[in-house]
Amino acid sequence: MSVAMMLREGTAQKHEETEKVPYIRAIFRGGLDAQTYTYQLESLLAVYRVMEELYRQNKDNPILSKLYFPSLFREKSLQEDIVTFQKKFGTKLRGEVSKATQNYINHIQTTAQSKPELLVAQAYVRYLGDLSGGQAIKKVVAKTFGLEGNEGTAFYEFPEIEDLMAFKGIYRQNLDTLPLNDSQKAELLEEAKTTFDLNKFLFIELDSDLKENIGMERYQTLLPAG
């Protein structure tokens, strides 16, 4: 089985678990408020900043070098969106790194110290998610907050990539050419599963913020019936 297929099939359950977090469902039901979304952008900025810096530091690694695409880096676009929401909606930042975010960052740093090649799994989960499901979230976010163009949605824009679908194909092809033995492939899959869990816990934390910011009565209307 190819590496790309192994990651896709091997993380399918974790992917589904993450999508079922109430916070994600609230997004697609148009229930997101500007303050909670700003917290989301803030947490993601902290994660991407660390992941991308470590990727730069290890870009000559024989495994990471095959998946080193600066065109995917999200730090600047997240900063741009945060400024947009602060100016347009008067939102604020937490002022400190949240618990789930810090756990995520700690894991990335610890993993990169011992096995930097596993950054591949972390990048796979985040970037392919941004290129795929993230494009659907972009439309919902724009509609929810009445945004036009790429105002407040720069995070989901990849101006240096002309064809997202074709690029995803190239990314998966590069995954399949990674010089990995069976043991390394198994480690990569486990790291991808762990990364999905870290994202899930981040969204669960944001779910608590959403309840507080919009109130339980409004929050209850966003949950699926039954």
94 marked among binding-site residues: no
Between CA 125 and CA 121 the distance in angstroms is: 6
Between CA 153 and CA 148 the distance in angstroms is: 9
172 marked among binding-site residues: yes
How far, rounded to the nearest angstrom, does the alpha carbon of residue 54 sit from its chain's CA centroid? Answer: 16
Nearest to 97 by CA among 16, 205, 25, 22: 205
107 marked among binding-site residues: no
Between CA 70 and CA 214 the distance in angstroms is: 37
23 marked among binding-site residues: no
Nearest to 51 by CA among 112, 131, 94: 112
Spatial contact of 38 and 92, defined as CB atoms under 8 Å apart: yes
Between CA 16 and CA 124 the distance in angstroms is: 16
Enumerate the known binding-site residues for heme b: 8, 15, 124, 172
Annotated binding site: 8, 15, 124, 172
